[in-house]
């Protein structure tokens, strides 16, 4: 085991750190923390967690020796998933290098046996900065093992925002003059169309169009096989994939409806198993769900949740729908952008629905206060569509005592007063530029 660790350590010393495109999110402020904490970076596979920590390492190495800043990637094929590897790791580093460890970066540690107990021991006994990444929610603050609670700071990483997408492609948009320049607006819409269709996974953004679908399908295969099937020892892989197809093709399902549909497709999966599979999918960060808004926890648990996928690219590349469902793509993008925006705050996202079937896509709640109600409507020109969206928004405004009302559209911008309440119509691109 010592020889394997030494090989990994010398590979790290000799490794050239690649060129890294700066993102809006940065770990630089965690370089010199006055409070001792384990910094935990979580998020879906391939969203850029490794590049974030490599960017920090690159900055650290300007003033520090490579032997003081150690990086271990637990996805490395030579690393055996054993307790002994972790037990031998620190003694071998100290025997191999002359320098004292100042920073230890552990990439994708969550599948190692007893990883959390080992981290707790290291936290208690060693005097260096610890950074950990994970593609499973069991590393997140919500599911963090008891022995690590209160000792970690979590940073959630999402696919690229629209601003970051443009930066990665080195494209400048004059946002101040979009209303006046047809050429600038056309350029912006070309980029927005690609972003809506293929999403913001960094490698996909940087690849040529013929390869984008291939990369997304490869990611999908990896997350299904490695992060769900293998991690949770699922025997019925066909049933899992059928469930994923149902979820990818629609925003909202009840467990009973999913169970009945799967049964009609000859997949023998019980209701309890369907619920477990959905939890496993969410555990991998591949999908996020939001509950119905209610002050009663019982209602939040009983009513169907709305499901959104971590990146639009998976909907267009994996879904069985042959034509683009822009309404679905817009709503999914807004959902993930909202979840990114509130990820490091005390806010929560819900949807609202009443007994008449009136529905509002997103309710933003901060503490006990409802901050905003948002509808997403790709084409607001149709009279019946507009009436449906505004009626639901006004009813929710009355019930939830919130007057901050917005409808996100493709290109319609206006402020209208209906029944004494102001509704702001905002184009998606403007809202994306204003969002974090």
Domains of the chain, CATH where assigned: 2-157 (3.40.50.300), 165-434 (no CATH)
CA 119, CA 38: separation in Å to the nearest integer?
Answer: 9
**Mean pLDDT for the stretch of residues 113-142:** 91
Would you tell me how many other CB atoms lie within 10 Å of the CB of residue 224? 20
CA 290, CA 308: separation in Å to the nearest integer?
Answer: 8
Rg of the Cα trace of the chain?
A: 23
CA 169, CA 163: separation in Å to the nearest integer?
Answer: 10
Nearest to 11 by CA among 59, 102, 56, 77: 77
**Mean pLDDT for the stretch of residues 337-358:** 92
**Mean pLDDT for the stretch of residues 376-382:** 92
pLDDT in tens, 281-322: 999 999 999 999 998 888 888 889 999 999 999 999 998 765
What is the model's pLDDT at position 32? 83
pLDDT in tens, 72-118: 999 888 888 889 999 999 999 999 999 999 999 999 998 899 999 99
* CB under 8 A, 24+ apart: contacts of 408-415: 408/330, 408/334, 408/374, 408/375, 408/376, 408/377, 409/377, 409/378, 409/379, 409/380, 410/326, 410/330, 410/378, 410/379, 410/380, 412/380, 412/381
Identify any residues that bridge with 154 across adjacent strands, giving them in sequence order. 40
**Mean pLDDT for the stretch of residues 128-140:** 89
| Residues 178 and 185 sit within 8 Å (Cβ to Cβ) | yes
**Mean pLDDT for the stretch of residues 185-209:** 95
Q: Is the dihedral of CA 79, 85, 90, 92 positive or negative?
A: negative
What is the model's pLDDT at position 344? 75
């Amino acid at each position: 085991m010592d020889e394997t660790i030494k090989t990994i350590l010398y590979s790290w010393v000799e490794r050239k750190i690649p060129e890294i495109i700066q993102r809006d999110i940065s770990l630089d402020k965690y370089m010199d923390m006055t409070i001792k904490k384990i910094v935990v970076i979580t998020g879906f596979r391939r969203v850029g967690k490794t590049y974030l920590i490599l960017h920090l390492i690159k900055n650290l190495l300007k003033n520090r020796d490579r032997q003081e800043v150690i990086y271990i990637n637990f996805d490395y094929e030579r690393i055996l998933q054993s307790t002994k590897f972790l037990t031998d790791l620190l003694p071998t580093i100290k025997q191999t290098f002359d320098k004292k460890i100042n920073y230890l970066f552990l990439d994708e540690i969550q599948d190692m046996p007893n990883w959390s107990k080992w981290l707790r021991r290291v936290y208690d006994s060693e005097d260096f900065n610890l950074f950990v990444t994970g593609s499973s929610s069991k590393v997140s603050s919500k599911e963090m093992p008891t022995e690590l609670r209160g000792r970690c700071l979590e940073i959630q990483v999402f696919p690229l925002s629209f601003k970051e997408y443009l930066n990665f492609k080195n494209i400048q948009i004059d946002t101040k003059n979009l209303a006046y320049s047809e050429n600038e607006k056309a350029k912006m819409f070309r980029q927005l169309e690609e972003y809506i269709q293929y999403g913001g996974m960094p490698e996909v953004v940087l690849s040529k169009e013929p390869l984008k679908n291939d990369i997304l399908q490869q990611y999908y295969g990896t997350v299904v096989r490695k992060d769900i099937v293998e991690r949770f020892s699922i025997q019925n892989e066909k049933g899992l994939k059928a469930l994923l197809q149902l979820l990818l093709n629609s925003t909202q399902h009840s467990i009973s409806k999913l169970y009945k549909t799967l049964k009609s497709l000859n997949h023998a999966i019980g209701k309890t198993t369907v619920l477990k599979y959905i939890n496993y999918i969410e555990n991998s960060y591949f999908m996020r769900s939001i509950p119905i808004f209610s002050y009663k926890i019982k209602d939040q648990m009983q009513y169907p949740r709305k499901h959104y996928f971590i990146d639009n690219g998976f909907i267009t590349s994996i879904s069985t729908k042959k034509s683009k469902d822009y309404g679905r793509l817009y709503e999914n993008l807004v959902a993930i952008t909202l979840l990114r925006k509130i990820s490091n705050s005390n806010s929560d996202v819900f949807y609202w629905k009443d007994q008449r079937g009136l529905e509002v896509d997103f309710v933003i709640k901060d503490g006990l206060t409802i901050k905003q109600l948002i509808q997403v409507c790709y084409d607001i020109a149709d009279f019946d569509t507009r009436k449906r969206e505004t009626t639901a928004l006004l009813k929710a405004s009355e019930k939830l005592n919130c007057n901050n009302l917005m409808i996100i559209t493709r290109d319609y911008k206006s402020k209208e007063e209906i029944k004494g309440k102001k509704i702001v119509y905002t184009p998606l691109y403007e809202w994306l530029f204003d969002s974090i």
